[in-house]
Structures are given as structure tokens and as C-alpha cells.
């Protein structure tokens, strides 16, 4: 297997130097160049032809979002955003993902501590290198209509739960699914692999787009029809039940499958507390998080759905789930909202 060729774009000379040194320690990654701004990056991309670009957002001469949009239109390739861990940084990172970036990673407060994120960055780069990237017209905005539901289809849904796990490419996949949910949809729980603050901005943006309420989960939040709860970055989210009431527990704990939040943790708790009253969904993403938990859900009687390979940005998590028999039905992204409603 040939090395993954990486171009590092960041206005900080210290960050560029440390990223280049740390990533060069990975056997399958080769840093072929660095750039202090998008203008230099543009020339090096054409000349060096990297497999993946790491991109800072706030840079001189041209900001990273503007550069990314131009890149996705004229020279599409996988981009990993490395952004500051601030509310503003989270919102900009989401805009970057909507503009075509496939992964996002939070940058530490000190430039000298960026070496600590070597493993995370290397994993993001590996995932990005496998992503399906297509040319996009960023001026085009496609809106999905909510799924039409027969009047009687969801009368008895207050005791049901929808649990969804996603990673690489998941923010756009989730947007497509959640914007199509009707107000009558049972409570929805979502694990998307993202750092803190990014999930806050993600939930706010989805809330403005969806018919249903979308919010970042807080410990003790009720799971209600017409509401989706997003697991906060760096915290696990578990389904719990008290009598007829579902609620979530949001807590720290060891990483599972190198992730926190973890889809496996959510799916395990959904199997335990909702059983056959749950629908489990696994979307695009690198790795195996969610596969084992989704199998537990299916064994407990839940309906389970996996995104198909053709519509995934990275066919990793759904593939691993399908391999062990956790996926009852595999379907294209465009049909997943319908399949969830049908399963309910």
C-alpha cells in the first residue's frame, strides 16, 4: 500500500513544523509539503498532487472556507479541517464540512501542544484518504421535504426510540435524514464523532433546518417525540428508562473504539432499555464503532438499518456492522428516513 501524501496548510510556522514532524513518524503517511496560506497551497496542490490536505480556517490573504469552496469546485480532494476549539471555530468548521471537508479536528490552545494530537490527526487523514469526493457547486442548495407519513402510521410511537451512529461524512448524512423526519417521529438519539463545541454548533444548525427540535443533549434530558438529542463532544450518551419515561445519561468514561462519544455505548443502552421498541441506524464513517452495539440491538428485537456502500463517504462502520450480521436492511442515504418511518 502506497503512502498517503499530505499537504499541511496553516499560517503558523510552528504548527506546520510540528505537524510535518509528527505525521512523518507514521509509516503510511508522507508529508509532501506545507503552505502558510491558500495561495501557496493552490500552487503546491497542482504541482505535488496530495491525497489529503489539512487546512486551518483562519488564515491571512484568504480564509480557509473560501479556499475550500474554490477547491471543491475546481480541484476536489479530501480535506481535513483543523480548527480552534471555540464556539466560533465550531460554527466555521461546520460551514467547512457543508462546503466539502470530510473531517474536522480541534486544534489545542497552544501551538506547541499540537504534537499531542498526532494519532487523532493521522486517523482522520487515513479516513479522509478513503473518502469519495465529488465536484460540487456550493451555490446550489437542495432542500429535502419531510417524509410523508400515513395518518395512522405513528399513532403508537411514544414508547419507541431511534438511535443513530455516524462518523466521517456523517454531518451531511444526518442533515439529510433529520430534515426529512416528520414532527410525529419518536425520540431520536444521535452519536456523531465530533469534538466539543462542534456538536453544539451542529445541533443549533440542524435545529434551524429541521421540522423537529434538535438540541445538544444534557444529562437527564427526556427523549420525546419530535425531538433529536445530539451526544455532546467528548461525552458518552446512554438511553435510560424510568417507568414509561425515556431519558438520557450524559457522562464521561473510557473511549470505546477510540471514540467518545461512542455509537456502541448508545446502541448497547438502547438494546437494554428499549429492546424491540428501538430502531438502530448506522451511517457513513471510518472504523468499527457501532457494529457490536447494533448487533446487540438486533438481537434484542430492534429493527436495524445500515447505509449502503455507494452512498457512504467512507464505507467503514456500516460495512463492519453488516459483516457481523447487525444490519437487517442496507439502503441508500436518500431512502433512510423512509426506512426508519417504515420500521416504526
- pTM of the complete model: 0.85
Q: Are 248 and 134 in contact (CB under 8 A)?
A: no
- Per-residue confidence of the chain (344 residues) as pLDDT tens digits? 579 999 999 998 988 999 999 998 999 999 999 999 999 999 999 999 999 999 988 887 888 889 999 999 989 999 999 877 555 667 777 888 888 999 888 876 655 566 667 888 898 999 899 888 877 654 444 455 666 554 444 444 458 999 999 999 999 999 999 999 999 999 999 999 988 778 988 999 999 999 999 999 999 999 999 999 999 999 999 999 988 889 999 999 999 998 999 999 999 999 999 999 999 999 999 999 999 999 999 999 999 999 999 999 999 999 999 999 999 999 999 999 999 999 98
**Which residue among 10, 56, 289, 308 is the active-site one?**
289
Superfamily covering domain 4-129: Response regulator (3.40.50.2300)
**Which residue among 51, 193, 269, 270 is the active-site one?**
193
The class that CATH gives domain 161-343 is alpha beta
Torsion of CA 130, 134, 139, 141, to 10 degrees: -80
Helix (H, G, I), strand (E, B) or coil at 229: strand
Phi, psi of 164 (to 5 degrees): -125, 135
Let me know if 338 is a catalytic residue: no
State the Cα–Cα distance between residues 27 and 24, nearest whole angstrom.
7
State the Cα–Cα distance between residues 261 and 246, nearest whole angstrom.
19
Helix (H, G, I), strand (E, B) or coil at 153: coil
Q: Are 108 and 218 in contact (CB under 8 A)?
A: no
Q: Are 235 and 265 in contact (CB under 8 A)?
A: no
**Which residue among 167, 262, 269, 270 is the active-site one?**
167
Let me know if 167 is a catalytic residue: yes
Residues 243-269 pLDDT 10s: 888 999 999 999 999 899 999 999 999
Let me know if 268 is a catalytic residue: no
State the Cα–Cα distance between residues 187 and 162, nearest whole angstrom.
6
Whether 4-129 and 161-343 share one fold: the answer is: yes
Question: Where along the chain do its domains lie?
Answer: 4-129, 161-343
What is the SS3 string spanning 69-115? Answer: HHHHHHCCCCEEEEEECCHHHHHHHHHHHHCCCCEEEEECCCHHHHH
State the Cα–Cα distance between residues 293 and 13, nearest whole angstrom.
43
Amino acid at each position: 500500500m502506497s503512502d498517503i501524501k499530505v499537504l499541511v496548510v496553516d499560517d503558523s510556522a510552528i504548527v506546520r513544523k510540528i505537524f510535518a514532524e509528527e505525521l512523518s513518524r507514521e509509516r503510511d503517511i508522507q508529508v509532501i509539503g506545507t503552505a502558510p496560506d491558500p495561495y501557496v497551497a493552490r500552487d503546491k496542490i497542482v504541482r505535488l498532487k496530495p491525497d489529503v490536505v489539512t487546512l486551518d480556517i483562519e488564515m491571512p490573504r484568504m480564509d480557509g472556507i473560501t479556499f475550500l469552496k474554490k477547491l471543491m469546485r475546481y480541484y476536489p480532494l479530501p480535506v481535513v479541517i483543523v480548527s480552534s476549539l471555540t464556539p466560533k471555530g465550531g460554527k466555521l468548521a461546520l460551514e467547512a464540512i457543508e462546503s466539502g471537508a470530510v473531517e474536522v479536528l480541534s486544534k489545542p490552545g497552544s501551538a506547541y501542544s499540537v504534537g499531542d494530537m498526532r494519532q487523532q490527526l493521522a486517523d482522520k487523514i487515513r479516513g479522509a484518504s478513503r473518502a469519495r469526493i465529488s465536484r460540487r457547486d456550493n451555490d446550489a442548495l437542495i432542500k429535502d421535504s419531510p417524509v410523508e407519513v400515513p395518518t395512522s402510521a405513528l399513532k403508537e410511537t411514544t414508547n419507541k426510540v431511534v438511535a443513530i451512529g455516524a462518523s466521517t461524512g456523517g454531518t451531511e448524512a444526518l442533515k439529510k435524514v433529520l430534515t426529512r423526519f416528520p414532527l410525529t417521529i419518536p425520540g431520536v438519539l444521535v452519536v456523531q464523532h465530533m469534538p466539543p463545541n462542534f456538536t453544539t454548533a451542529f445541533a443549533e444548525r440542524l435545529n434551524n433546518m429541521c421540522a423537529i427540535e434538535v438540541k445538544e443533549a444534557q444529562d437527564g434530558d427526556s427523549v420525546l417525540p419530535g425531538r433529536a438529542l445530539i451526544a455532546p463532544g467528548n461525552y458518552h450518551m446512554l438511553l435510560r428508562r424510568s417507568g414509561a419515561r425515556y431519558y438520557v445519561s450524559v457522562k464521561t468514561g473510557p473511549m470505546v473504539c477510540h471514540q467518545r462519544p461512542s455509537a456502541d455505548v448508545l446502541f448497547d443502552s438502547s438494546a437494554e432499555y428499549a429492546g424491540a421498541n428501538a430502531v438502530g441506524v448506522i451511517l457513513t464513517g471510518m472504523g468499527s464503532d457501532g457494529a457490536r452495539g447494533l448487533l446487540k440491538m438486533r438481537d434484542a428485537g430492534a429493527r436495524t438499518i445500515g447505509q449502503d456502500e455507494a452512498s457512504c463517504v467512507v464505507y467503514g462502520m456500516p460495512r463492519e456492522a453488516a459483516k457481523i450480521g447487525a444490519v437487517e436492511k442496507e439502503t441508500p442515504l436518500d431512502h433512510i428516513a423512509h426506512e426508519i418511518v417504515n420500521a416504526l
